[in-house]
Amino acid sequence: SYELTQPPSVSVSPGQTARITCSGDALPKQYAYWYQQKPGQAPVLVIYKDSERPSGIPERFSGSSSGTTVTLTISGVQAEDEADYYCQSADSSGTSWVFGGGTKLTVL
């Protein structure tokens, strides 16, 4: 079955830039989506179609794609950005969707 691989954890100081990667063989063909989830809350979509930002999401959130890796970048990290982040995409057929294992972002 298809898998997306994320680092389990990333730590940054306030004001710095956090980069969270997600790797998968089908990412050159399929868009990636990123979600933020805080404890006890439903996930929130922060990036769609690799690099598009939904309305209401701060500009400090951005996404990029290169080959089999997509990256979520949070510039000028704030304490409120501390959360779990998940990437999502589909296999090469586009019919089986998966989430990455999630990355816990810690703001030091």
Site map for other proteins, 23-62, x if CB under 8 A?
----------x-x-x----xxxx-xxx--x-x--------
Q: Are 43 and 102 in contact (CB under 8 A)?
A: no
Least distance (Å) between residue 86 CB and other proteins: 5
Sign of CA dihedral 71, 77, 80, 82: positive
- 7 lines the binding site for other proteins (CB under 8 A): no
Name residue 64's amino acid: S
Name residue 61's amino acid: F
Indicate the residue among 16 and 52 with the shorter CB distance to other proteins. 52
